[in-house]
A and B are shown apart, each in its own frame.
Chain A
Amino acid sequence: MWIGLFSDIHANREALESTLTHARRAGIGRFIFLGDYVGYGADPAFAVDSVMREVETGAVALRGNHDAAIAVGTGGMNSVAAEAIEWTKTRLDKAQQEFLAQLPMTFEEEARLFVHASADAPERWEYITDVESASRSFLATRAQTTFCGHVHVPQLYHLSLTGKIAGFKPVQGVELPLLGHRRWLAVLGAVGQPRDYNPAACYGALDTERGVLTFVRVPYDVETAARKIREAGLPEILSHRLIEGT
């Protein structure tokens, strides 16, 4: 079975539409959303509605820190992110806010764990950016493979039988075999705000039968998404970083 893995949509309508269309055309039948549907971008209501619709038809959606901030406040966020959250609150109706508030933190299926940030105390929203943070996540779960987002930079960590952990920068479009002899931690890139100097939207395509994961990049109308951020009066930097992929 093919599963599409989408993380960090961040209210980017253009990126979300292009990505979901791409995944459907590729024949991917099941979607898992790894959180952060809102924040930064200009279309939070559209993003939440889209995810709600997918969940009604069987998709899984998890909670991200920006989604949580709508209900619990912006503690721990930088000023730009906090400003975007305050703006976002004014754009979401009650049903949309309630949807975000009830999302689960993790989802487990067979030997796979899905979480927004880290398997280690998911509510602390730790970024997995190096071997140390990856090892804390590996230690916190027995799942063979963990899928997460939050960082906005795609990376694949793996733990060998001898206990060694290493990170790997995935090449887009290349099938990566998730071999059964080791454990894997896939940090998906962002759909709506990539930060690896490649502005194209990123999602993961997992073939559970063959055990291969592909990091897919989808070009989308970045200019429109960036213009809408400026027009909404959100901080200018959020518009620039979309164009540059930072």
Chain B
Amino acid sequence: MDRGRESGQVIDGFRLLEPLQSGGMASFWRVSRDGTDLPMLMKLPLLRPGEDPLTIIGYEVEMMVLPRLSGPHVPRFVAAGDFERPYIVMEFIEGQSLKSLLEKTPLPEDDVAAIGAKIAFALHDIHRQHVIHLDLKPSNVILRGNNAVLIDFGLSRHDQLPDLVQEDAEGPVGTGAYIAPEQVLGERTDPRSDLFALGVILYFLATGRRPFGEPQRVDGWRRRLWWDPMPPRALNPAVQPWLQEIILRCLEVDPENRYATAAQLAFDLQHPDHVNLTKRATRLRRDGIFTVAWRWLRQARNRPERRRAALTSYLADAPIVMAAIDLEADHESMNDALAHAVRRVLATQPNARLACINVLKIARLTLEKFEDESGRNPHLGRLIELKHWARAVPVAPERITYHVLESTDPAGQLIDYARHNRVDHIVVGAHGRSALRRHLGKVSARVVAEAPCTVTLVRMSDGESFRTAETQRA
């Protein structure tokens, strides 16, 4: 409880209502202001003499970063005080703290994946806004409706602003249980550090244990550079291989071996059937002592120079590309043209992921699995055709997935899919002149008009050649 403040007191027009739980670096009050309906919280940093300088740095960072963030995954910034009277007022997030779920761990894997995907989407959203959180942990995540809301940006990094934390801190800064290995080495420019912390959260939710314990000192933090965690399935046999694959990929020591973006991680969490399983999926033991010793030696000897790319370029290099393939197209040349366009989109983006989509148009929604005339599920045939099509697109198997969807409204289905999976770029064919094609052409026109991302429209000309028209929607 902070001294000298009581309910009813007014600070710069904000009336203190009730004190909330105090953190180590700040006290929190519910506040109201005449004319404002938004539920609000005031954060008052504890700036006492001899206090950890990080308290004031964290306050400064949050004052810089929070006003620049918007959207459903962050509290809305309302106001900040001045030098004499420091405070920040922001939206009070009503929801369930992820921390409160920890008592119920291990959670069923569907819940783990659903929560994980929500957090991954929230991370992708702030990453797109130039911010890396760098202190992701359950107490900084609030689940509100369909969204995860991230709070406490005091250790965060905005890649277009000075990094006050880096400049003031004597050593690595973070939370022992969740901090990424590169952060332990002082690196604060990689958005994939947040994916590591999310991996720790997923591990905890799935097993009820923290993969690296809760070391309090930096020596303890460093161990994760060479000691790999116990595989989740060794602690909880109910964890499926696909979930273990995802978790251990997030916990890779080298960020290059993790997911390229939070959106790509969310994609796997939402499509367990499409997770590319590697040796990680089935391991039941930690690495042997020789491997660990070798890693220790390697990390002690060389510190790799990391590329210091701008945050947005990490995301730009690793888009999710969706190819909408119409398998009923009357000539092969359209699909060749689509493959050509996709190859061109992927050529400069080595970390791109490709989702090949075909929508099976149905007359009405039905709960029964329907079959074609010969009694086979048409999905299977279409998957085979999609895979055949994709042979013309050189993408490593772990970067490509195939989806046959069914809908009475193919255009709406494609747009929903793109939105739901944070697709960055859609490649879709436009069709020619026949009556049927005019009808189908409406699909691509609607995708171009309504898609939440860039769309490349591939159009056949009358001759053999084709051209593409690119449209961009903000």
Chain A residues in contact with chain B, CB under 8 A?
156, 158, 160-162, 164, 166, 168, 171, 174, 176-177, 179-182
Is B161 interfacial (CB-CB < 8 Å)?
yes
Q: Give bound CA distance, A158 to B164, whole Å.
A: 9
Is B64 interfacial (CB-CB < 8 Å)?
yes
9 A-B pairs with least C-beta separation: A166-B167, A180-B83, A168-B162, A171-B160, A174-B160, A162-B53, A177-B64, A179-B60, A164-B168
Q: A182 to chain B: which residues have CB within 8 Å?
A: 60
Contact A181 B168 (CB under 8 A): no
Q: What residue in chain A is nearest B84 (Cβ atoms)?
A: A180
8 Å CB contacts to A: which residues of B26-66?
A: 53, 56-57, 59-60, 63-64
Q: What residue in chain A is nearest B86 (Cβ atoms)?
A: A181
Q: Known A160-B167, A179-B64; judge A166-B162 contact (CB<8 A).
A: yes
Contact A179 B168 (CB under 8 A): no
Is B12 interfacial (CB-CB < 8 Å)?
no
Indicate which residue in A158, A162, A180 contacts B162 across the interface (CB closer than 8 Å). Answer: A158
- 18 additional contacts, CB 8 Å, given A158-B167, A160-B168, A166-B162? A158-B164, A160-B164, A160-B167, A161-B53, A161-B56, A164-B167, A168-B161, A168-B162, A171-B160, A174-B160, A174-B161, A176-B161, A177-B64, A179-B63, A181-B56, A181-B59, A181-B83, A182-B60
What's the count of A-B pairs with C-beta under 8 Å? 38
Shortest beta-carbon distance from A185 to chain B in Å: 12
Q: Give bound CA distance, A45 to B178, whole Å.
A: 63
Shortest beta-carbon distance from A85 to chain B in Å: 37
Shortest beta-carbon distance from B313 to chain A in Å: 13
Is B330 interfacial (CB-CB < 8 Å)?
no
Write out, one digit per residue, whether chain B residues 157-178 have a CB within 8 A of any chain A CB (1) or not (0): 0001110100110000000000
Q: B57 to chain A: which residues have CB within 8 Å?
A: 160
Q: A166 to chain B: which residues have CB within 8 Å?
A: 162, 167
Q: Give bound CA distance, A160 to B86, whole Å.
A: 16
Shortest beta-carbon distance from A212 to chain B in Å: 10
10 A–B contacts from the bound complex (CB under 8 Å): A158-B162, A160-B164, A160-B167, A166-B162, A171-B160, A174-B161, A176-B161, A179-B60, A180-B83, A181-B56
Q: B83 to chain A: which residues have CB within 8 Å?
A: 180-181
Q: Give bound CA distance, A244 to B60, whole Å.
A: 37
Q: A168 to chain B: which residues have CB within 8 Å?
A: 161-162
Classify the interface of chain A: helix, strand, loop or mixed: loop
Q: B162 to chain A: which residues have CB within 8 Å?
A: 156, 158, 166, 168, 176
Q: B168 to chain A: which residues have CB within 8 Å?
A: 160, 162, 164
Q: A156 to chain B: which residues have CB within 8 Å?
A: 162
Q: Give bound CA distance, A174 to B160, whole Å.
A: 7
Q: B164 to chain A: which residues have CB within 8 Å?
A: 158, 160
Shortest beta-carbon distance from A198 to chain B in Å: 15
Write out, one digit per residue, whether chain B residues 73-94 have a CB within 8 A of any chain A CB (1) or not (0): 0000000001100100000000
Contact B63 A177 (CB under 8 A): yes
Q: What residue in chain B is nearest A165 (Cβ atoms)?
A: B167
Q: Give bound CA distance, A161 to B52, whole Å.
A: 12
Q: Give bound CA distance, A160 to B166, whole Å.
A: 12
Q: Give bound CA distance, A174 to B64, whole Å.
A: 12
Shortest beta-carbon distance from A29 to chain B in Å: 24
Q: B161 to chain A: which residues have CB within 8 Å?
A: 168, 174, 176-177
Q: Give bound CA distance, A177 to B59, whole Å.
A: 13
Shortest beta-carbon distance from B56 to chain A in Å: 6
Q: Give bound CA distance, A166 to B83, whole Å.
A: 20
Q: What residue in chain B is nearest A211 (Cβ atoms)?
A: B82
Q: Give bound CA distance, A237 to B167, whole Å.
A: 38
Q: A181 to chain B: which residues have CB within 8 Å?
A: 56, 59-60, 83, 86
Shortest beta-carbon distance from A214 to chain B in Å: 11
Q: Give bound CA distance, A181 to B168, whole Å.
A: 13
Q: A158 to chain B: which residues have CB within 8 Å?
A: 162, 164, 167
Q: A162 to chain B: which residues have CB within 8 Å?
A: 53, 168
Q: Give bound CA distance, A177 to B63, whole Å.
A: 9
Shortest beta-carbon distance from A138 to chain B in Å: 14
Q: What residue in chain A is nearest B82 (Cβ atoms)?
A: A180
Q: Give bound CA distance, A156 to B163, whole Å.
A: 12
Shortest beta-carbon distance from B130 to chain A in Å: 9
Write out, one digit per residue, whether chain B residues 130-164 have a CB within 8 A of any chain A CB (1) or not (0): 00000000000000000000000000000011101
Shortest beta-carbon distance from A155 to chain B in Å: 11
Q: B82 to chain A: which residues have CB within 8 Å?
A: 180
Q: What residue in chain A is nearest B310 (Cβ atoms)?
A: A171
Q: Give bound CA distance, A156 to B168, whole Å.
A: 16
Q: Give bound CA distance, A182 to B61, whole Å.
A: 12
Shortest beta-carbon distance from B83 to chain A in Å: 4
Shortest beta-carbon distance from B282 to chain A in Å: 45
Q: Give bound CA distance, A179 to B63, whole Å.
A: 8
Q: B53 to chain A: which residues have CB within 8 Å?
A: 160-162
Shortest beta-carbon distance from B197 to chain A in Å: 25
Q: B160 to chain A: which residues have CB within 8 Å?
A: 171, 174
Shortest beta-carbon distance from A73 to chain B in Å: 40
Q: B64 to chain A: which residues have CB within 8 Å?
A: 177, 179
Q: Give bound CA distance, A166 to B166, whole Å.
A: 10
Q: A161 to chain B: which residues have CB within 8 Å?
A: 53, 56
Q: What residue in chain B is nearest A171 (Cβ atoms)?
A: B160
Q: What residue in chain A is nearest B67 (Cβ atoms)?
A: A177
Q: Give bound CA distance, A45 to B136, whole Å.
A: 58
Shortest beta-carbon distance from B26 to chain A in Å: 15
Q: Give bound CA distance, A168 to B164, whole Å.
A: 10
Q: A171 to chain B: which residues have CB within 8 Å?
A: 160
Q: B63 to chain A: which residues have CB within 8 Å?
A: 177, 179
Shortest beta-carbon distance from B444 to chain A in Å: 35
Q: Give bound CA distance, A35 to B82, whole Å.
A: 33
Shortest beta-carbon distance from A180 to chain B in Å: 4
Q: Give bound CA distance, A174 to B164, whole Å.
A: 17
- The interface centre, meaning the residue of B53, B83, B162, B164 with most chain A CB atoms within 10 A of its CB, is B162
Q: What residue in chain A is nearest B161 (Cβ atoms)?
A: A176
Q: Give bound CA distance, A218 to B64, whole Å.
A: 26
Q: B60 to chain A: which residues have CB within 8 Å?
A: 179, 181-182
